[in-house]
């Protein structure tokens, strides 16, 4: 195989292996199950915040959002998730934001899920969007136009309650359509 052939082969492989991600509201049972499994991996197994499971009553009313990796242009695996719910009229919360360790700090999936979360709520009449943010993530949220309200302890872990600046999050009408985001390695091919 010549250098050119090898390069062409590697480029094709990279295109195949470095897919787009779909950012959207979870619609199919496998997406809901993928979000459930990812939350278990992150909040029970990795962070140890919960003993056996991280489900609670909010799951009965929340809308789950997901980041889905693709393989050969088809939806493949849930690699990120967050949930949103309206806890009182026009006031919303986001919670259980999680990205699979293998997909963190590379494609801004956490940031994109935050964007979908707040824009979706805004599109449904939200005028106040809050979340409890773990301390190591406060700087990330500040860069995304959130401000700190107060420090609180949740499940024995210190958090900051933060509020999103809705002006930075234009309403979107259909979170199930969502959008596609490009993996950075693919952009370099």
Ligand X SMILES: CC(C)(COP(=O)(O)OP(=O)(O)OC[C@H]1O[C@@H](n2cnc3c(N)ncnc32)[C@H](O)[C@@H]1OP(=O)(O)O)[C@@H](O)C(=O)NCCC(=O)NCCS
Residue 52 binds to ligand X (criterion: CB under 6 A): no
- Check residue 41 for interaction with ligand X (CB under 6 A): no
Alpha helices in the chain (DSSP H): 3-17, 29-39, 109-123, 138-143, 184-188
Alpha-carbon distance of 80 to 29, in angstroms, equals: 16
97 in contact with ligand X (CB under 6 A)? yes
Tokens encoding 155: 């499940």
CB of 163 to ligand X, least distance (A): 14
Q: Under the criterion CB under 6 A, does residue 145 sit at the interface with ligand X?
A: no
CA 27 to CA 9: how far, in whole Å?
35
Instruction: Output the smallest distance, CB 67 to ligand X, in A.
Output: 8
Does position 98 interact with ligand X (CB under 6 A)? The reply is: yes
Cβ neighbours around 110 below 10 Å, total: 21
Give the interface segment with ligand X, choosing from 25-33, 58-66, 102-110, 166-174 (CB under 6 A): 102-110
Residue 165 near residue 145 (C-beta atoms within 8 A):
yes
Binding site for ligand X (CB under 6 A): 42, 97-99, 104-106, 108-111, 133-134, 137, 139-140, 184
């Amino acid at each position: 195989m010549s250098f050119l052939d090898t390069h062409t082969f590697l480029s094709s492989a990279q295109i195949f292996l470095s897919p787009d991600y779909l950012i959207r509201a979870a619609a199919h049972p496998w997406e809901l199950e993928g979000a459930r499994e990812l939350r278990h991996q992150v909040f029970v197994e990795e962070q140890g915040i919960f003993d056996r499971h991280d489900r609670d009553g909010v799951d009965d009313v929340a809308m789950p959002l997901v980041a889905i990796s693709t393989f050969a242009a088809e939806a493949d695996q849930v690699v990120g998730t967050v949930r949103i719910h309206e806890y009182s009229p026009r006031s919303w919360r986001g919670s259980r934001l999680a990205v699979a360790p293998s997909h963190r700090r590379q494609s801004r999936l956490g940031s994109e899920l935050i964007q979908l979360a707040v824009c979706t709520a805004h599109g449904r009449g939200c005028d106040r969007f809050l979340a409890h943010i773990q301390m190591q993530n406060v700087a990330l949220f500040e860069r995304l136009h959130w401000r700190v309200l107060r420090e609180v302890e949740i499940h024995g872990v210190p958090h900051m309650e933060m509020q999103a600046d809705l002006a930075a999050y234009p309403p979107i009408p259909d979170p199930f359509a969502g959008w596609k985001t490009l993996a950075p390695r693919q952009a370099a091919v």
